[in-house]
Structure 1
């Protein structure tokens, strides 16, 4: 067992340990057992050295010596941070052409897909006409008019913009109008706080105003809807009430099913593994059983919705392989998910068969109504 003296000494250098460990991790990223050992030893030794030659003397300095000394330390930290973050070639690592190409292709997917899609100029932003913070509106407006008689509208959160053009392309121009309303915390069928209640009310007003033939609800759902289902469950009640409201104005409602819980900053994690852990990259694919278990209450709630005009559609099945949800294209080494829980261009490409099926079903069924 450790003696009190040893524990006391570790406590004495603990603050320096705290200050030292993160810069070392940022510079020497721990992607192998060797680097873990190196970082542990280096952090401990540097903390001991700094504790004796700096921290103990630092505590005894008067303010006339301390002020310029702190200024030098701050400027040194600024220089080090600037150097490490890419403004110097000293820390740069050398990669093979293959890895470089993978990094370039994936970095092109870092930005939200709708900001770099080819036909984004065909959709025009409009004033939303609602009392809402502009930062809460991801996008609101309409796309180029079509040649058909079918009016379409998309409501929800940022997922609306992700799927807007991929879905629209499946219709060709076989629609009359194509509108979208993408608002922060817009879940389409329920609300769990003040912001989502405002988003829901705005969505309902937009549907009542434009009365689209087909309403699509695209949303990444909030964590609260994964909670256990209670007796007289409030979310189920809300869903049924809001769906009933939409049914008064539309002919068909298509609702995107739940997505697995992707990791935040997944694209960066993927690139780090491409660079340093290529042999372990398959571990990034998601365990399907565990992912589905986390969403089981979401799916149960959806099954309890009473709606004669509703259809749920699921794009996640297109990512399934055995007991996994695939997170990247193995052939092209392109991530399916960005850093903000949205599908990348590559991920959206995978969903095209389901979007095509839904679009065809919509065009066929609405003609019969």
Structure 2
């Protein structure tokens, strides 16, 4: 939804942080609005171009226009190369002006060529230089073919080419082809021209179709028959869009187009704010609970489905505690300090650390422990366990483990909540290892925990592990209950990765640590009747305890609230 809002306002919605890259793997996994980042840059440039153009028209004669655009483009390219990070040079409009200036230079050169050709035709109407003209066209054809072959070679080249070389090469080469396409029979071929006509619609429409294929039809493959069908559907829809919509609106008056744009903006705005409208139509029955539910009011299947859908859409937003002020990035991961605490009368300095499960629990811990805290510092890195980095994102996570050490040493907390969803800790033991204490991953976890314990005054509350679930199962919960599905079998289909080895390591770790207190959700999620993990509320028509991204929903947080209430009461 945040991406949709950015697209509507022509703000760049391109992911620019490690955290955004991590959270892009949640739920829908692919942002349907990804490619609108270039539209954002384009529209921002359209707001600037009148001033650039008017300055050229009013202050410079025609022969200096091309030099003026070249100078602006050069400044922009130097700015993007030497003063911007790679992401900034990709997203920042002023760092992309040089590409737009290339287009304006192409236009100026094309106008000059057109003027010279018309002048020449006036002087030599009988085409006395037909042989010379044919020779020039043959040379242009060879040159264009050479450029096309060069671009093709670059595309299939197996090694990565720096963006600083690649972007100007393709921009200038494409501009050159545009200049020579005027009288070129190949580049002006009707089929290629028509592909160019539908390319804008194709650009906008292909990504949602590809996203659907990737999520629903790919089965983890790079390509299959359904991918070719998706490509064909993209072209067909682009043709329909061009023929039925683009051609139509291009014939409208400026006033009608303005009214049409306002109507479309309003419709899109209503779609984006649909959940906020639903919030007004279905206000929470109990505002004291995160999930807004009341024990006295039973939930229907329709309400459960609506709530689960809401958890999917708002997964990342729900993980940002409203009381936490982030130091750099906008969360959910990263480092932030909770506000609204009594620094004078509060007793304890509390830290919440982990991977994405730390911000997932942040609001709950603030509500339960805030009355006793003078400070609550929250720190997390998506996809990184503060205790061990073995295989996943190794260098990045090792670097951040060192940073966890630094922040804990600086903070000197009284209490720490260590909340992680297992990653490397869930790997099987090596074939020759029979005891947990001899396992290399456990040894690293124990060593790292000892480093943290040196700076912790009282206790560290360590969350033991629960299974990781399949992201596609949450959407089927309500229907499974409504249709009387065998729930034991359904529960088993939920599990993606079991916590057997992770729990062995954490059990041993907590057992040998005097300052460690276990937080275990096992009794809450383990169904003793079916002997399965059950991550939904059967009594409330299937409201899910987990999101597709394997985080606790607000309903799940309310289920575990008594655990944290007991912990915080006992501080």
Q: TM-score, normalised by structure 1?
A: 0.64
Show CA shifts across 1:115-172 (max 9, x none).
247x932221113xxxxxx699713111122342111001111100111111222224
Does 2:232 match 1:76? no
CA contact (8 A) 2:322 2:363 kept: no
Does 2:314 match 1:138? no
Q: Which structure's relative contact order is higher, taking Cα pairs within 8 Å and 6+ residues apart?
A: 1
Q: Hey, what does 2:500 align to over in structure 1?
A: 296
Q: Hey, what does 2:534 align to over in structure 1?
A: 326
1:345–1:209 Cα change, 3 Å? same
Supply the distance in 2 between the matched residues of 1:342 and 1:206 (Cα, whole angstroms): 25
CA contact (8 A) 2:325 2:338 kept: yes
2:402 counterpart SS class: helix
CA deviation after TM superposition for structure 1 residue 300, in Å: 1.7
Does 2:286 match 1:109? no
CA deviation after TM superposition for structure 1 residue 325, in Å: 2.0
CA contact (8 A) 1:319 1:325 kept: yes
Q: Hey, what does 1:358 align to over in structure 2?
A: 567
Specify which of 445, 461, 464 is matched with residue 239 of structure 1.
445
1:153 counterpart SS class: strand
Q: Hey, what does 1:168 align to over in structure 2?
A: 366
Does 349-358 or 174-183 show the bigger shift? 349-358
CA contact (8 A) 1:184 1:199 kept: no
CA contact (8 A) 2:470 2:495 kept: no
Q: Hey, what does 1:307 align to over in structure 2?
A: 513
CA contact (8 A) 1:160 1:180 kept: yes
1:41-56 correspondence to structure 2 within 5 Å: none
1:169-208 correspondence to structure 2 within 5 Å: 169-192=367-390, 193-208=394-409
1:141 counterpart SS class: strand
Q: Hey, what does 1:248 align to over in structure 2?
A: 454
Does 2:355 match 1:157? yes
CA contact (8 A) 2:426 2:501 kept: yes
2:312 counterpart SS class: coil
Supply the distance in 1 between the matched residues of 2:413 and 2:501 (Cα, whole angstroms): 30
Q: What residue ranges of structure 1 are gaps of 5+ in the alignment?
A: 1-62, 82-86, 88-96, 128-133, 364-369
Q: TM-score, normalised by structure 2?
A: 0.43
Does 2:482 match 1:280? no
CA deviation after TM superposition for structure 1 residue 226, in Å: 2.7
Show CA shifts across 1:3-53 (max 9, x none).
xxxxxxxxxxxxxxxxxxxxxxxxxxxxxxxxxxxxxxxxxxxxxxxxxxx
CA deviation after TM superposition for structure 1 residue 217, in Å: 0.7
Does 174-183 or 184-193 show the bigger shift? 184-193
Counting matched residue pairs gives 276
